[in-house]
Structure 1
Amino acid sequence: MKRLLTVLVALAGLLVGAAFALLAWQRGLGDSTPAASAPINLERGAYLAAVGNCAGCHTTRGGSRLAGGRPIPTPFGTAFSSNLTPDVTGLAGWSSDDFWRALHLGISRDGRLLVPAHPITNTTRVTREDADALHAWLQAQPAVAAPRRPHELRWPMNSELGAQLAVAAWRALYFSPGAYRPDPVRDPIWNRGAYLAQGLAHCSACHAGRNALGGDDGPADFRGGLLAGLGWAAPSLHDPAEAGVQRWSDTTLQRWLREGHADGHTAQGPMAEVVLGSTASLDDADLAAMSRYLRSLPEQAVTRPEPARPDARRRERGAGLYREHCAACHGAQGEGRRDDSGALAYPALAGSRLVTQASAANLIRVIERGGFAPATPGNPRPYGMPPFAGLLDAQELAALTSYLRGTFGHDAGEVDAVEVLRLRAASARR
């Protein structure tokens, strides 16, 4: 046992040593200067900040815009976003080179390695020109005093030294810096979409298939998975039965990305925030480019467990709950309901991907917390669904969810009260 411990310690030392050697090499990559000295376009910087939804993570609830402090759940505890305003507690004194190294290498101005809650695998893809425009716009925003809130992370990241060693090791395993390089076999529109989705829009920050260490297969990893500490699942963008859009028309997808609602598909939960804070801001050319890229992703079905044998008593109870709480809006057969203009006001549940996803997490979250599409210029007053968390206990929620996943032609599998409580506990840690 003592010999095994010695070997493990030696291996850990080698890994950390290799991580810091790699880091030293990566630091050299961050010393590049802009290729040209063209004037910085603040309007361009504002657009990039919107596409990247910088305010989404760097604004806490009730706080000043971009002043940081928002809790970001990770597999190792909670990180808190930093202040991006030009105050001494934020980006005051940061040069464009400093900002470039933060985006490209994940290294702060003081040399600290940024915790990977900051999506460095995505921001490293951003070009120097775009980084400079974003930096200039941030420096032009009102300064807000907001000292950095210490992260609340578990061992081995609950100390400054431990966190830096752990992040260095994580980077050695999962991070390779490099701006986006166009694919020569693809056209400029596709490449622009790939640059946006893999870079500033950081789609993989949610839709990657992460392992227990939070590692993924890079910025084009869209396999999907549960979002740590949120109780929501980011469905796979490769599977048309999950969130894949390969079979959607360009028109439908572009409208959905801009308005959050199209052809009966509605953005919910974290994705509603992404539409409101990011994709709704895309100009026509970038909207078309992102649509082209997302529709081109290779199709790959998510592996689903064999559905459990239906519990007849649970399904019967769920049917009664559906008639009592849901049928008035969603229809007796889950067909949905239209408003006086003929538009679909309440979505159909029959055939809904939200209902039949491999994970029932999002369906449970919508029932508990309510369903609210983003209020966008093209859909300023969307219909919403009230939350039922105060009306349904775990057994009732499991019954209703199981009924929905096993009715209207669905065969998506049962949900029990234990699964409901597990998801509630996950979201409570947020």
Structure 2
Amino acid sequence: MKLMKKVLGFLLLAALVVLGSLYWLGTREDSSTGPAGAAADGAGLIERGRYLALAGNCMACHTSRGGKALAGGTPIPTPFGTVYGPNITPDTDTGIGAWTADDFWQALHNGKSRDGSLLYPAFPYTEYTRVTRSDSDALFAYLRSVAPVRQPNRPPEMDFPYDQRALLAAWRALYFKPGVQEPDPGQSVEWNRGRYLVEGLGHCAACHTPRNSLGATRSSQALSGGVIPMLNWYAPPLTNDMHAGMGRWTAQDIATLLKTGISAHSTVSGPMAEVVLGSTQHLTDDDALAIGVYIKSLPATPPASEARPAGATPAALELGGKIYSQQCAQCHQPDGKGSGLAWPALAGNPTVTAPSPVNAIRMVLDGGYAPATTSNPRPHGMPPFGQILSDNDIAMLVSYIRNSWGNQAGGVTALEVKRARAASTLN
């Protein structure tokens, strides 16, 4: 009995040590600030912060549809519940009017609110921690300059046990380490700027890196693409795989897509169209090209694997080809090479050749437009075909375009189309 008590006592002590270590690791802070930025006067600092807010796409999560700018309320669905973007206007009672620059830095860099509470990683502090202190201060100066809006924050609606914030300490111990990203002296200034925007302020990994069952990005598959949780859109790989990634693109192709929403290889749609509209079209030409330069330096690793059904049968491909000739060839051409930038090529198009066919399916179902940008104010659109084509027809059509003109992306089932049709009515 005494031995049993000693064993139980030892196990209890060990458990407390482990839990204490996890809590310390999950709540630790990093006080580094990274390289100093250039000094700026008040107006210059605010303008720089305005640009950084656009580059970081702050509006997307902090401005609700039809609501006041940056006043919060935007629902951010996750597999664990819904988080609502907070009010970041300088209202003293409901916004960040009582915050200091140190408080704001703590949120960006350490993922903690002003009162020290741990923030849910729906706020991408896992990427924002790389932002320099000087850029954080510029962002804060800009946010302090916007019109204050009195709008109480809506609390998160998380499922149990994810509504217990204390558990975030364990998640952070496993998946978060705060720290500013230092420049790589072996790379060019342009490359380092591109990496800073991609991995930090632009938080591209939030969509373009697959996640594990606990919602953390898989670092071993960085930027290898994945289905965006809850939105049912596929963020394609940013690696240089020749078939599903950026292998056939140049740095300038990538910059053009970010600035205009269109390129010789593809046209943005879904969530990325919103990113271009609200964020990347406002990048300077140098920053857009720096992102392209950095992305083109990524290895040609294959995209994150996805279980796919067997390839389409010859009969299905033949019927899909007939549907393509009737409905699609006039714009996208019989050889799939498209027509200028208005009607993008389907041959080699990463939307078509992606491991997941969901984007191609949703474009056939719902159609759509590229975003109306300053450089492309009147984009061409694609009509929806969901009303005139059955699930089986669309499955055969998408299977055909995924396996023609050198594309080798596998078949599509009517069940996948049915699921995409249902998801498109919810989003």
Relative to the length of structure 1, the TM-score reads 0.87
Distance in 2, Cα, partners of 1:92 & 1:66: 13
In the alignment of these two chains, the number of paired residues is 414
Contact 1:226–1:234 (CA under 8 A) maintained in structure 2: yes
Distance in 2, Cα, partners of 1:200 & 1:180: 11
Moved more, 91-100 or 7-16: 7-16
Letter in 2 for 1:48: L
1:77 aligns with 2:74: no
Deviation at 1:31, TM superposition (A): 10
Moved more, 111-120 or 319-328: 319-328
Which of these residues, 16, 21, 24, is aligned with residue 24 of structure 2? 21
Letter in 2 for 1:78: T
Distance in 2, Cα, partners of 1:233 & 1:259: 20
Contact 1:207–1:222 (CA under 8 A) maintained in structure 2: yes
Q: Deviations over 1:161-195 (max 9, x none)?
A: x1x12322211110000011111221222111111
Distance in 2, Cα, partners of 1:315 & 1:11: 61
Deviation at 1:330, TM superposition (A): 1.9
The residue that corresponds to 2:135 in the other structure is 130
- Secondary structure of the corresponding residue to residue 346 of structure 1: coil
Alignment of 1:62-141 (within 5 A): 62-87=66-91, 88-141=93-146
The residue that corresponds to 1:188 in the other structure is 189
Moved more, 302-311 or 222-231: 302-311
For structure 2, the 5+ residue unaligned runs are 1-8
Deviation at 1:249, TM superposition (A): 2.7
Deviation at 1:104, TM superposition (A): 0.4
Letter in 1 for 2:271: P
Moved more, 415-424 or 183-192: 415-424
Distance in 1, Cα, partners of 2:48 & 2:221: 25
The residue that corresponds to 1:340 in the other structure is none
Letter in 1 for 2:82: T
Distance in 2, Cα, partners of 1:425 & 1:15: 45
Letter in 1 for 2:49: G
- Secondary structure of the corresponding residue to residue 261 of structure 1: coil
Letter in 2 for 1:112: S
Deviation at 1:242, TM superposition (A): 5.5
Deviation at 1:256, TM superposition (A): 1.9
Letter in 2 for 1:119: P
The residue that corresponds to 2:292 in the other structure is 291
Q: 1:426 to 1:18 in 2, by over 3 A?
A: farther
Deviation at 1:280, TM superposition (A): 1.5
The residue that corresponds to 1:3 in the other structure is none
Q: 1:153 to 1:203 in 2, by over 3 A?
A: same
Moved more, 361-370 or 282-291: 282-291
The residue that corresponds to 1:270 in the other structure is 271
Q: Deviations over 1:107-137 (max 9, x none)?
A: 1112221111111111100111100110010
For structure 1, the 5+ residue unaligned runs are 1-5, 338-342
Deviation at 1:429, TM superposition (A): 5.8
Contact 1:182–1:191 (CA under 8 A) maintained in structure 2: yes
Distance in 1, Cα, partners of 2:46 & 2:403: 52
The residue that corresponds to 2:282 in the other structure is 281
Deviation at 1:240, TM superposition (A): 3.0
Distance in 1, Cα, partners of 2:109 & 2:80: 23
Q: Deviations over 1:225-265 (max 9, x none)?
A: 11000111111111434663354333322222211212242
Q: 1:206 to 1:304 in 2, by over 3 A?
A: closer
Letter in 2 for 1:391: I
Q: Deviations over 1:313-336 (max 9, x none)?
A: 543443343334323322233332
- Secondary structure of the corresponding residue to residue 126 of structure 1: coil
Distance in 1, Cα, partners of 2:302 & 2:141: 43
Which of these residues, 343, 348, 352, is aligned with residue 346 of structure 1? 343
- Secondary structure of the corresponding residue to residue 374 of structure 2: coil
- Secondary structure of the corresponding residue to residue 342 of structure 2: strand
Moved more, 382-391 or 175-184: 382-391
Contact 1:89–1:147 (CA under 8 A) maintained in structure 2: yes
| CA RMSD between the two structures | 3.0
